[in-house]
Amino acid sequence: MTTVDLKPSEEFQFATGNGDVLLIACGALAREIVDLIERNRWTAFDVQCLPAKWHNTPHFIVPAVREKIRANRDKYKSIFVLYGDCGTGGLLDKMLDEEGVERIDGPHCYAFFSGNPEFAAKSEDEFTAFYLTDYLARHFDRLIWAGLGLDRHPELLSSYFGNYTKIVYLAQVHDEQIIENARKSAEKLGLAFEYRFTGYGELETDLEALSQTDKMLTAPLTVSSGNVL
């Protein structure tokens, strides 16, 4: 029996420089954003990322995002920022107000991946948890362990993590290898481990809404014939 395969015959591949809506994002979200764009075949987004390592030094974020906005304002129809407050203490929002640019809601990526209301409700009882996302779990050794100097000075472990009780790995995709990385990270820190699948949460719903607002085109599905059943 010949059936119609509604899967695209060719993978839709994101390429920078084609869209007219610029997403300025933390580098820790790059993979997730591109995955969403490709999965949804959104053609109107362009993405520029800033260094994910600023997770540890948030004072770098605000001036760099402002610089990106100003450098690109005339080149795009609109700009949207994919950063949480990320420890900027409201300064990111203040700057974005001044520039007339919006961002995804939430204090951190942990929150918008989990869903902001759900995260806020949980955090009341979960403030001794150290959160990992896919990105942080993948790059734990470089970003957290070495980034905090624990590779050189493991004796500082209790200064950094003495008050934490567990690692909660908020997974965007289910990947056994990343789960294993996260579990090993918890072991290294001497903390309990919890796995929680979130998916892309509000990152996906916000981008979906943005794509609707801007009435953006999606790449057409190519109808091909083939045996799918």
Partner 1 sequence: MSDDGELDLNSLNDEDLVLQVHDDLYDGLKEEVETAVNILLGRGWAPYRVLTEALVEGMRIVGIDFRDGILFVPEVLLAANSMKAGMFILRPLLIATGAPRLGKMVIGTVKGDIHDIGKNLVGMMMEGAGFEVIDLGINNSVEKYLAAIEEHQPDILGMSALLTTTMPYMKVVIDTLKEKGMRDDYVVMVGGAPLNEEFAKAIGADAYCRDAAVAVETAKAFMARKHNQLAKG
Number of neighbouring beta carbons within 10 Å of residue 74: 6
Helix 91-99 and helix 61-72: axis angle, to 10°?
A: 10
We find the least distance from the C-beta atom of residue 81 to partner 1, in angstroms, to be: 16
Instruction: Rank residues 48 and 123 by Cβ distance to partner 1 and give the closer one.
Output: 123
Instruction: Rank residues 32 and 85 by Cβ distance to partner 1 and give the closer one.
Output: 85
We find the least distance from the C-beta atom of residue 198 to partner 1, in angstroms, to be: 18
Q: How far apart are CA 186 and CA 175, in angstroms?
A: 17
Query: For tokens 């949980």, what's the residue?
Result: 122
Instruction: Rank residues 37 and 104 by Cβ distance to partner 1 and give the closer one.
Output: 104
We find the least distance from the C-beta atom of residue 111 to partner 1, in angstroms, to be: 8
We find the least distance from the C-beta atom of residue 203 to partner 1, in angstroms, to be: 18
If phi > 0 it is left, if psi is from -120 to 50 it is alpha, else beta; for residue 86 that is: left
We find the least distance from the C-beta atom of residue 125 to partner 1, in angstroms, to be: 10
Q: Specify the amino acid at residue 172.
A: Q
Q: Contacts by 85-90 with C-beta closer than 8 Å and gap 24+?
A: 86/26, 86/54, 86/55, 86/58, 86/61, 87/58, 88/58, 88/59, 88/61, 88/62
We find the least distance from the C-beta atom of residue 106 to partner 1, in angstroms, to be: 10
Intra-chain end-to-end CA distance of the chain, in Å = 8
Which parts of this chain interact with partner 1 (CB under 8 A)?
Answer: 58, 85, 87-91, 107, 120, 123-124, 127-128, 148-150, 152-153, 155-156, 159-160, 163-164
Instruction: Rank residues 152 and 215 by Cβ distance to partner 1 and give the closer one.
Output: 152
Instruction: Rank residues 120 and 228 by Cβ distance to partner 1 and give the closer one.
Output: 120
Instruction: Rank residues 10 and 155 by Cβ distance to partner 1 and give the closer one.
Output: 155
Q: Which two tokens stand for residue 198?
A: 């979130």
